[in-house]
Structure 1
């Protein structure tokens, strides 16, 4: 049986490869994915299709070199926390940003049922302006 830690690590490994299908693979059909208020894609998306369209495809279309470099995973059993750094250049302005990030993952039965993002939205907003 794959551990929750390994499931989330596989998500980040897919992210490093630019593999959106791999990133979405662990999400339950009704997973709730919440991007922080103040972030350009703020809101809660339900299910892999909404996450793909509302978050990942938009990031791919609007940013150059956007990365979520997660350097630490904290294993809390059914809750996994990823810590790292976002960075990228917003195409419309040519401005680069870097901001620390925390992701809180909640899993049940080997699937992600909820995700919540925490980051310095002011740094992202500065790149957009």
Structure 2
């Protein structure tokens, strides 16, 4: 069985490749995925299908080269924290985004059971505003 650190690392490696099925491979069927209030995909989405349609599909539709760049992964056992930044260009405005972000992961029995995002939503809003 993979370690929690490996599960989260594999998610980010898949994200860098744009491989959504691999990104979701280790999610619990009832994973609670929370995008911060004020973020374009704000809310808590339950289950991998809801995450894909309400988060990754939206970001892929509205942004060019939207990505999370991992800078540090802090292993706390069943909780991990990823630090990095978002970047991309909003398709409607043409404005670039660069914002710091923290992701908090909770895992249990080799599955991601919860994810929560923290970022500067003002920077995201500015990129999305003409």
The TM-score bracket by the shorter chain reads over 0.9
SS at match of 2:105: strand
Match of 1:42 in 2: 42
Q: CA deviation at 1:52?
A: 0.3
Distance 2:39 2:93 in 1: 16
1:3 aligns with 2:3: yes
Q: CA deviation at 1:50?
A: 0.2
Structure-1-length-normalised TM-score:
0.99
SS at match of 2:2: coil
Q: CA deviation at 1:110?
A: 0.2
Aligned runs of 1:53-64 on 2, under 5 Å?
A: 53-64=53-64
Distance 1:96 1:82 in 2: 22
Distance 1:116 1:19 in 2: 20
* Deviation beyond 4 Å, 4+ runs, structure 1: none
Structure 2, unmatched stretches of 5+, are none
1:86 aligns with 2:77: no
Aligned residues: 129
Q: CA deviation at 1:71?
A: 1.4
Q: CA deviation at 1:26?
A: 1.1
CA RMSD of aligned residues (A): 0.5
Match of 1:128 in 2: 128
SS at match of 1:28: strand
1:11-66: CA deviation from partner (whole Å, max 9, x where unpaired): 00000000001111111000000000010110000000000000001111110011
